Structure 1
Amino acid sequence: MATIPESEAKPLLLVDDDVPFRQRLALLLARKGFAVTAVGSLAEARVEAARSKPTHAVVDMRLTDGNGLDLVAELRANSPDVRIVMLTGYGNLATAVAAVKAGAVDYLAKPAEPEDIVRALSADGSSRAEAPPEPMSADRVRWEHIQRVYELCERNVSETARRLKMHRRTLQRILAKRSPR
């Protein structure tokens, strides 16, 4: 596979605190023609964004030192033309709307396919992103929602069951299973 000369590579800021995922995605994005700067926190991202002035960004929603939505707004304020894709393992409609309002061009649930990320980053600014060829199943959406509420309740099963209006033992059985595809 031919590599793209660094002078033609598009500067991209990748922000994700999951080290193995960040390393794999950085490698794949570099192969697709991006000059990737990969960092694991909001603080590092702010420094690198000021230094490198990226034209593209892939930002995780939840980071160890804050919320990726804050960074989306900052990147958009510094460079109105930056193309930002928001990634999250805890997807829901409210955060998707917030991400798009803050300036993200797309919002993808983890584990996102690299091709979907590249497609969103490379799409024409006037066109809408295509729907994924294989959207999440209803079972997967339900599981993601339960996981998100569980995390918001600081992994307290009783509180999560109360908020979801389900029996605690039912919730425990759901949490013990693997995520559906």
Structure 2
Amino acid sequence: MSAVGLLLLLLLLPLISAQTFHWGPCPTPKVQPGFNLSQYLGRWYEIQKLPASFERGKCIEANYSLRKDGTIRVLNSQFYKEKVRLAEGTAVVRDMREAAKLGVSFSYFSPYGPYWVLSTDYTSVAVVYSCTDVFRLFHVDYAWILGRSRFLPPDTVRYAEQLLIGEGIEICKMKATDQRGCKDD
């Protein structure tokens, strides 16, 4: 590794300490063929995830809705430090030929990050992956298993985990999200 690469790694290490990072470029998993955005919209509950510094609470959920301008409103919520925390973002379909590869941003100043729907049946489970290369030296990735209900059958969770593993995504740091004691609308 070059001196510049090592310096970059040392500068970024505090930022990625709560993330999952690996040497080398991102894997390129297959995404949901024939993805139907309108069926995907609505509320999804986080069942499991790879560590993410922006998700530390419980009762984590995401609600996706279509805006008049064709973008997707992303409203994430979690219960953290005794209160509900919200984060609103925007998602876009970057290429209609691969509609399952969305881009998501939570700030006007940040670029759209990848949000790839690897698999979904639209009614019970979705498997989502995001990965960012850093100069092809290493990558930071996120993965989520989402459900239309707060709890999924163990067989469904195992199916989702096996799908991630089969696509070359390491899930040894994946953790269950606490969905107990949540206030439902």
Give TM class, smaller chain: under 0.3
Greater RCO structure (CA 8 Å; 6+ sep): 2
Instruction: Give TM-score, length-normalised by structure 2.
Output: 0.26
Which of the two has higher C-alpha Rg?
1
Greater helix fraction, Structure 1 or Structure 2: 1
Instruction: Give TM-score, length-normalised by structure 1.
Output: 0.26
